[in-house]
Amino acid sequence: MLSTFSFGLAVAVLAVCAYAYIKRALSKSPPGPVGVPGFGLLPLVMWRTANDKRYRLFLLMQEIQKKFGDLASFRLGTQEFILVSGYPALREMFVTHADKFNGRSNTNFHRFLFKEAGIVGSEGALWQEHRRFALRVLKDFGFGRNASEEHIQDEAGQVVNFLRSKEGQLVDPRDFISKAVANVVTRFIFSNFSSYEDPEFNEFLGKLGSLTNQNLVGLITAFYRFMPVETALALSPANKKQFDAITWVEDLSKRKVEEIRSKYNVDDEPSNYVEEIRSKYNVDDESSNYVEAYLQEQHRRGVDLGTFTDLQLVKTIWELYIAGVDTSSNTLGWSLIYAALNPELQDRCHAEIMAKIGKRQASLKDKKELHYCQAFLDESQRISTLVPMSVDHRATEDTEFRGYNISSDAMISVNLHGLHHDERYFSKPDMFDPDRFLTPDGQYKPSEYLNQFGVGKRSCLGEVLARMEVFLFFVTFMQHFRFEADSWTAEQREQILLGTEGIVHATIEHRLKVASRDN
């Protein structure tokens, strides 16, 4: 009886697998692993996650690319994924055919999270209008120019003071870097900033971290597009936590927007802060932060706000925080880890800084002199690849690419980790070697294959700001301190270098010893 049942079950499983295999072969989807019907690669991923501490989803993407090539497909749950890898395919998809592939995920969960507003999660005319607006405001406020350079220098100075008080002690760099970086974004959005000790500020940073360090279990709910969001939230504590964090951040943003609205009269003369910026740096704008610029735009539009609603503003605020804080701060975090693990290379950065600028405050103009520091930063961004699978894209309609069908319901994962660890572009990719970004006579030589900000029209909106922050903070840290990782065991070192799973490849808890170079 049992053996008849087992036989029947085996036949049924085989039939379902054969059906899935034939269906896939006929679908003209890019090649890829078949997976279990209804679950795709989920069982494999969950098994590996549970049994191998070194396992990360982006490493699976690299395996898939190696086996199936630069255009592959697979399923997680019922969700189809297209994996695009390699420089030519990335450019073809996101530059040559940018207009076809600039959509974002359209799952239930995604719609619920982003409410089809904001910039990161939106599409079409709304996305274009608000991306353009945000870029204009960033430019008007002098991002890439002196005005914002001074903010970052201020914050860097604060961190130096904080680290001086920790001389000889072990510190977790995540504590001080994320606060400094969050303050830079806060100045842009609200033009105020918070004390590092402020408990609300610290709670706020904790919430942001929980949004980007999303683990796989939390993501599972997004892999079943038919699942009602309420069920997803009930099934997944991680998603519930994520949603609660967003609500918390949005409530705080709403309060801050109302505070500004109540004080800021769009017909008034610009505030002191703006006058100061204007007289100093010739910035021709009448608002002093993103919210004021937005309120002015609402005022200009009168009754018909179009897409410039309050909901859009609040969504954009939390997106700018999510996109702008964990990213820049973890980029800096990785650079300190690689500096600590490579003391001679760290000393080379310090020696270059001493030779070229000495103890004076670092500025963006110094970039052209600090070749080794720039090469070091590029190498650290390459090897750690902060957003390893970028942010998912989507084809805005069913389409064909390189002879394969791409469904508009498929999520397109951009294999940035694979690109940065591809022997075709970077020899010995697992080795930390800043020299690969230098000419033989020591001049900085950027590589077109390093694309930490993504590729094409939808690439990072905050790239200019992020590059400024990373350079100024890093050079200031290297100028004044040595960071040491003497106390790490081999196992700790391995875990620290693996970092987290999630949209952002973040650093895990770790301690570095801070030694002053100023004595």
Told to check if 370 binds ligand HEM by CB under 6 A, we report: no
Residue type at position 485: A
User: How many helices and strands (H and E) does the chain possess?
Assistant: 21, 8
Q: Which member of 324, 333, 434, 502 binds ligand HEM (CB under 6 A)?
A: 324
Whose CB is nearest to ligand HEM? 462
Told to check if 185 binds ligand HEM by CB under 6 A, we report: yes
The residue (of 32 and 324) whose beta carbon lies closer to ligand HEM is 324
CB of 117 to ligand HEM, least distance (A): 13
CB of 119 to ligand HEM, least distance (A): 5
Told to check if 319 binds ligand HEM by CB under 6 A, we report: yes
The residue (of 42 and 249) whose beta carbon lies closer to ligand HEM is 249
Binding residues among 153-182 for ligand HEM as defined by CB under 6 A:
none
Work out the number of other CB atoms within 10 angstroms of the CB of residue 47. Answer: 11
Told to check if 465 binds ligand HEM by CB under 6 A, we report: yes
Cα separations in angstroms, 287 against 137, 275, 407, 436: 9, 10, 43, 43
Strands in 481-484's sheet, in edge-to-edge order, are 170-171, 512-516, 481-484
Q: Is 515 helix (H, G, I), strand (E, B) or coil?
A: strand
171 DSSP 8-state letter: E
Told to check if 387 binds ligand HEM by CB under 6 A, we report: yes
Q: Which member of 30, 86, 333, 462 binds ligand HEM (CB under 6 A)?
A: 462
The residue (of 30 and 462) whose beta carbon lies closer to ligand HEM is 462
Told to check if 390 binds ligand HEM by CB under 6 A, we report: yes
Measured distance CA(504)–CA(211) in Å, rounded:
9
Q: Which member of 32, 209, 218, 454 binds ligand HEM (CB under 6 A)?
A: 454
The residue (of 337 and 387) whose beta carbon lies closer to ligand HEM is 387
Binding residues among 117-136 for ligand HEM as defined by CB under 6 A:
119-120, 131
Residue type at position 136: R
Told to check if 466 binds ligand HEM by CB under 6 A, we report: yes
373: annotated binding-site residue?
A: no
- State the sign of the Cα–Cα–Cα–Cα dihedral 281, 285, 288, 290: negative
CB of 285 to ligand HEM, least distance (A): 18
The residue (of 120 and 245) whose beta carbon lies closer to ligand HEM is 120
Contacts of 247 (CB under 8 A, 6+ apart): none
Measured distance CA(364)–CA(464) in Å, rounded:
11
Q: Which stretch binds ligand HEM (CB under 6 A): 10-18, 210-218, 267-275, 455-463?
A: 455-463
Measured distance CA(485)–CA(343) in Å, rounded:
9
Q: How many CA atoms lie within 13 Å of 50's alpha carbon, on the beta-carbon side? A: 7
The residue (of 345 and 389) whose beta carbon lies closer to ligand HEM is 389
Measured distance CA(183)–CA(171) in Å, rounded:
20
Identify which of 146, 432, 189, 142 has the alpha carbon closest to the alpha carbon of residue 292.
189
Quick note: the x/- pattern for ligand HEM over 270-309, rule CB under 6 A, is: ----------------------------------------
CB of 26 to ligand HEM, least distance (A): 31
CB of 27 to ligand HEM, least distance (A): 26
CB of 155 to ligand HEM, least distance (A): 13
CB of 122 to ligand HEM, least distance (A): 8
Are 320 and 185 within 8 A, CB to CB?
A: yes
Terminal-residue alpha carbon distance, the chain: 83
Measured distance CA(76)–CA(337) in Å, rounded:
33
Q: How many CA atoms lie within 13 Å of 448's alpha carbon, on the beta-carbon side? A: 7
Told to check if 415 binds ligand HEM by CB under 6 A, we report: no
Cα separations in angstroms, 131 against 67, 182, 312, 335, 462: 37, 21, 12, 29, 10
The residue (of 173 and 462) whose beta carbon lies closer to ligand HEM is 462
Identify which of 77, 80, 72, 83 has the alpha carbon closest to the alpha carbon of residue 40.
77
CB of 175 to ligand HEM, least distance (A): 19
Q: Which stretch binds ligand HEM (CB under 6 A): 57-65, 324-332, 365-373, 487-495?
A: 324-332
Are 64 and 81 within 8 A, CB to CB?
A: no
Q: Which stretch binds ligand HEM (CB under 6 A): 193-201, 241-249, 461-469, 495-503?
A: 461-469
Q: What does 100-142 look like in DSSP terms, one character per residue? A: GS-B----HHHHHHHTT-SSTT--HHHHHHHHHHHHHHHHHTT
* Binding-site positions for heme: 460
Residues making contact with ligand HEM (CB under 6 A): 119-120, 131, 185, 319-320, 323-324, 327-328, 331, 386-387, 390-391, 452-454, 458-462, 465-466, 470
* Binding-site positions: 460
